Amino acid sequence: MTECSRQAETWAGELPDEEIVRLVCRHDESALAVLIQRYGGQVQTVCKSICSDELEANGVVSDVFWEFWRHAELFQPHRGSLRSYLLTMARSRSIDRMRSVASQSRQRTKFIDATINHSKELSLADSPEHRAVSDENAEEVQQALCQLSELQRQMLELAFFDGMSHREVASALQIPLGTVKTHIRKGLLRLRFLLSELSQTGKHS
Amino acid sequence: MSCDDVQDLLVEYLMGELDSQSLASVERHLASGCNQCQAELQALTQSVDALWQAVPAQKLSEEFQRSILTRACSATSSEITKHTTLASHPASIPQRLYRNPFAQALLAFAAGILFMMYMKPAAKIADDFAASRPPVTKASSNVNLASPQIPASLQMSEKRYESTQLVSLRRKPGSGEPRGYVLCDALTREIHVFCHGLQQPPSGMQYVLWLIGPGIEFRAVDRLDVDAEGVCKAAVRWPAGDFRFATVTLETSSKLNSKPSNDVELVSNAFAPFAR
């Protein structure tokens, strides 16, 4: 490991997201390096779940950070975390890419299952300190996901990780569009409720 | 739009999937101060944040991280004054790359390859457009970016065009050689304009970039400045809504009409064969 990458890892643990955004807005390249180190791995996971091959996925990963570098000022903290912003962008750009190449053979990696079964085997691109916090939160999310109904989990998976629109989910599952919208919304709200309960339980124990 | 209608759309709103009309309606409703919908949005935002947090991370190689950095930062290296808040730390990755002549040569070579790769699709798009628009002669549309009519400095910038779905260069029939082109980048939602050989606009006139199409009607998206050498370069955000043409015209600045005047000089014209 080079001195440079060791230094970047240290920064990755030190800098809060807000500070990274501020620095990227000023086109500070080191801040972008930290951002790639922190979220690049998750961005790639999302891209690979939607794109037909690794080459395409890597192209979209690169596009996401290129676009953020150019227009970091468009990020609005009140509309979600920086992670959500980047992963939503990754999802959206992957869909655009796949539509543009008219691919019919998308990989259907089941990422929620992958999350539940294998996340501890995958390395997060954070400093050890940051990784510990992320693992703890991710574990709670995994527990909450397990408590959703099978249908809700399936719909969330299709909508978030397979890159389907609500209409496409409805078509794939042969369920009315309105029902899909309701299930996804209620699934998300239940997820929040379950996370809140788990968090309370954790505090009391 | 009622609260129920808005709440039905909030997930798609967060995922960036709403069409421009629904997006405007939802934002209008949220801006009106509806506490119930704001609370619902906040709850859904937290859920989506949590869901994304659980996504496992792939291990990115150091080499791939470097390539992402190089590509992103090289796009604006000559345009933006860099700040060095963190760069005061020794030897950041991008700094080392920028100082490395071999890396610079490699980038230049890659840019050349990309340029060559996209010449043919660009010409094909222009041909398709010519075929669909009989008044435009093939000769006027079958011009690529390597045209000797375009100064070398404008033929390929350091910007990335691999996602560009359109590279077209046309003028109205009988109005002389093309003097510019408009590139619509579907991926980054940017529109790049390059024109050359322009006269400074006469007093009271200005060059204007228009988008024209069924989803957008006529929209003046930017006023363009011409430098001392008669060159105009601009990049604007692609606004919401479908469009079919991008065009640059010379207009009266005192009164910008709701659509391009019929008798204005057409500098460049581009065809966007895709919808948002």
Task: Convert the pLDDT of each residue in A96-109 to its tens digit.
Answer: 887 776 544 444 44
A4-13, B52-61, B116-125, B171-180: which range is least confident on average?
A: B116-125
Please give the Cα distance from B135 to B6 (Å, whole number).
46
pLDDT digits (tens, 9 = 90+) for B21-76: 888 889 889 888 889 999 999 999 999 988 888 888 888 888 888 888 887 776 54
Task: Please compute the mean of the pLDDT values over residues B228-242 and round it to a whole number.
Answer: 72
Q: What pLDDT is attached to residue A180?
A: 92
Whether ipTM tops 0.90, in short, is no
Q: How far apart are CA B57 and CA B189, in angstroms?
A: 27
Write down the pLDDT at residue A196.
Answer: 86
3-state secondary structure of B61: coil
Residue of B nearest to A24 (CA): B83
Q: How far apart are CA B212 and CA B230, in angstroms?
A: 25
- In the sheet with B205-213, reading across from the earlier edge strand, the strands are B217-224, B205-213, B245-252, B266-271
Q: Is the dihedral of CA B135, B139, B140, B142 positive or negative?
A: positive
Contact B11, A178 (CB under 8 A): no
Task: Choose the mutation target among A66, A154, A164 for the interface with B, i.e. most B CBs under 10 Å.
Answer: A66
**B164/A contact by beta carbon, under 8 A:** no
Q: Which residues of B touch A31 (CB under 8 A)?
A: 85-86
A198 touching chain B per CB within 8 A: no
Q: Which of A96, A89, A98, A111 is nearest to A157 (CA)?
A: A111
**How far is CA B41 from its chain centroid?**
30
Closest-CA distance, B276 to chain A, in angstroms, reads 10
Euclidean distance between CA atoms B82 and A22, whole angstroms = 13
Distances (CA, A) of A36 to A156, B13, B62, B199, B261: 26, 26, 10, 44, 47
Establish if A85 touches chain B: CB-CB under 8 angstroms.
no
* CA pair distance B7, B12, nearest whole angstrom: 10
Q: How confident is the model at residue B8 (pLDDT cuts 50, 70, 90)?
A: confident
Q: With beta carbons less than 8 A apart as the criterion, state whether B207 and B224 touch.
A: yes
- Residue B276: which residues within 8 A CB-CB, separation 6 or more? B215, B238, B240, B241, B242
Of A40, A84, A96, the CB nearest to B48: A84
Q: Are A70 and A57 in contact (CB under 8 A)?
A: no
B55 contacts chain A (CB < 8 A): yes
User: Residues of chain A whose pLDDT is less than 70?
Assistant: 1-14, 101-136, 202-205
Strand, helix or coil for residue A52: coil
Give how far Cα A18 sits from Cα of A14, A152, B12, Å. 12, 33, 25
| Residue B132 confidence (pLDDT) | 34
Report residue A180 as tokens.
């899909």
Which chain B positions have a beta carbon within 8 Å of A142's beta carbon? Answer: 54
Would the pLDDT of B267 be above 90?
no
C-alpha A192: how far from its chain's center? Answer: 16
Verify whether the Cβ–Cβ distance B57 to A124 is below 8 Å: yes
Residue B41: predicted pLDDT:
92
Q: Is A199 on the interface with B (CB under 8 A)?
A: no
Scanning every residue of chain A, which has its alpha carbon at the shortest distance from the alpha carbon of B4?
Answer: A182
**Shortest Cα–Cα distance, B121 to chain A (Å):** 13
pTM beyond cutoff 0.90: no
